[in-house]
């Protein structure tokens, strides 16, 4: 039925010219792209199209074209077609071209002519770069064929290439910033945890000294009992006046007290010196951790809780969001790399990439909602520092697999609100 219709259209009409351009220009270039792609894959070969059963019009006995003849016929086709070619020959070539294109797309699956062309255009070198190598010449030839086959993909592919490079640079910058921020937060957690540990150790030894003093005072007359404080008893001028048990405990107390003072000073230095001091910039209500004395500044332990709260805010919200974005960018770059390798990059990936980045940031923020600042602060004070790492790691996983994270949310909604359960309170009919 197709031949009479084509024959009824004169060769000099615009419809015929448009048909020739559609079939012999676009589809022919697409078939050559598919042949080049299939011949370069180790798991497929161009002779895999051997079951193409196309009749040989030059043989009156109804013989079929061999695979070699099919490829040879494709390689002989040119655009525009020869001026002396009649409509029957054009129709025969067009039918063969469409038949082979359909077969090549099935062999190249999951890639197809459109994704191969889009991938080649996406990988085309930027203008102004030296293109002297043979490989670059071959790449330009492929991109030119792809442009000819799908001219409408050029704008989208170039825009997506710029977006891909921007996301890659942004990912490198955010990863570096997240690494520095995580380093500062983890170090701050270790400082505050050491402060808590030294405080408990000092308090325990102080309590043991007072218990020993009470035992010794119980054996003495009231007028001979002493009630000096631990710093006074353990001072270098008074240490020789104490019993052996108290002197031993005083040695321990002096060691733990020195560690305690050092931890207070380290936390104060952390909060007031670069680069960790910029952690306090978003929290202007956080006071400084030093107070002025006669000979300079001394650390204040009463304000150490402030830096603990600041670290908990970073651990609960800032770091999860950042690592959620880092995970999203890592997933995006890895997915694009896999699609480029398999030549399955498509125009829809441009829109999906933007959606994926937004969903990854939302997933990272949502992870922070599952942990309250109080729980993070408690973990930081205990010295474990596990919650900081766990929240960031979960956020990275949520950003990397945003689709799986939101599927989990859907399941939680179904279970929490019992959307899949019948209403047992309704009366039976």
- Are 138 and 367 contacting, i.e. CB atoms less than 8 angstroms apart? no
Q: In 3D, which of 185, 109, 97 has the Cα closest to residue 379?
A: 185
Predicted confidence band at 294 (pLDDT cuts at 50, 70, 90)?
low
For 381-428, write each residue's pLDDT tens digit.
434 344 444 677 888 888 888 888 888 888 888 887 765 555 555 555
pLDDT of residue 128: 35
pLDDT of residue 70: 77
Residue 192 has pLDDT above 50, yes or no: yes
pTM (predicted TM-score): 0.70
Residue 238 has pLDDT above 60, yes or no: yes
Predicted confidence band at 176 (pLDDT cuts at 50, 70, 90)?
very high
- Which residues does 16 contact at the CB level (< 8 Å), separation at least 6? 9, 10
As a whole number, mean pLDDT of residues 43-63 equals 68
For 326-380, write each residue's pLDDT tens digit.
998 998 899 999 998 888 898 888 888 888 888 887 887 787 676 554 444 444 4
Report the SS3 class of residue 291.
strand
What gap in Å lies between CA 320 and CA 325, rounded to an integer?
9
What gap in Å lies between CA 104 and CA 41, rounded to an integer?
13
Strand partners, 55: 64
For 119-141, write each residue's pLDDT tens digit.
888 887 544 344 444 445 556 67
pLDDT of residue 288: 59
For 139-174, write each residue's pLDDT tens digit.
667 777 888 778 888 888 889 999 999 999 999 999
pLDDT of residue 364: 75
pLDDT of residue 174: 92
Phi-psi region of 408 (alpha: psi -120 to 50; beta: other; left: phi over 0): alpha
pLDDT of residue 389: 46
* Sign of the CA dihedral running 173, 174, 178, 184: positive
- Are 395 and 368 contacting, i.e. CB atoms less than 8 angstroms apart? yes
């Amino acid at each position: 039925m197709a031949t009479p219709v084509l024959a009824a259209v004169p060769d000099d009409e615009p419809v015929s010219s448009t048909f020739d351009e559609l079939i012999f220009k676009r589809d022919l270039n697409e078939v050559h792209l598919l042949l080049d792609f299939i011949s370069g894959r180790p798991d497929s070969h161009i002779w895999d199209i051997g079951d193409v059963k196309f009749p040989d019009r030059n043989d009156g006995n109804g013989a079929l074209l061999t695979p070699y003849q099919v490829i040879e016929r494709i390689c002989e086709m040119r655009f525009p077609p020869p001026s002396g070619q009649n409509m029957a020959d054009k129709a025969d070539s067009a039918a063969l071209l469409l038949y082979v294109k359909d077969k090549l797309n099935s062999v190249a699956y999951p890639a197809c002519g459109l994704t191969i062309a889009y991938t080649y255009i996406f990988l085309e070198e930027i203008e102004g770069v030296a293109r002297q190598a043979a490989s670059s010449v071959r790449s330009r030839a492929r991109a030119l064929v792809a442009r000819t086959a799908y001219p409408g993909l050029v704008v989208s592919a170039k825009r997506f290439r710029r977006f891909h490079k921007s996301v890659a640079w942004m990912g490198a910058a955010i990863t570096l910033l997240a690494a520095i921020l995580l380093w500062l937060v983890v170090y701050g957690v270790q400082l505050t945890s050491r402060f808590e540990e030294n405080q408990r150790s000092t308090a325990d030894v102080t309590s043991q000294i007072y218990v020993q003093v009470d035992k010794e005072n119980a054996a003495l007359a009231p007028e001979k009992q002493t009630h000096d404080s631990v710093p006074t008893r353990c001072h270098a001028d008074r240490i020789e006046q104490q019993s052996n048990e108290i002197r031993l405990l005083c040695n321990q107390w002096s060691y733990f007290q020195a560690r305690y003072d050092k931890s207070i000073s380290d936390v104060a230095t952390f909060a007031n010196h670069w680069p960790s001091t910029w952690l306090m910039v978003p929290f202007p209500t956080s006071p400084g951790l030093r107070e002025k004395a006669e000979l300079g500044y001394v650390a204040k332990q009463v304000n150490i809780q402030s830096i603990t709260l600041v670290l908990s805010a970073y651990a609960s919200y800032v770091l999860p969001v950042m690592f959620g974005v880092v995970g999203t960018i890592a997933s995006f770059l890895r997915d694009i790399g896999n699609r480029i390798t398999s030549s399955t990059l498509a125009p829809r990936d441009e829109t999906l990439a933007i959606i994926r980045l937004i969903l990854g940031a939302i997933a990272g923020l949502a992870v922070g909602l599952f942990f309250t600042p109080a729980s993070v602060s408690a973990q930081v004070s205990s010295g474990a520092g596990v919650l900081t790492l766990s929240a960031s790691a979960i956020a990275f996983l949520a950003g990397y697999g945003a689709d799986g994270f939101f599927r989990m949310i859907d399941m939680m909604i179904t279970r929490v609100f019992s959307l899949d359960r019948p209403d047992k309170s309704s009366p039976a009919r």
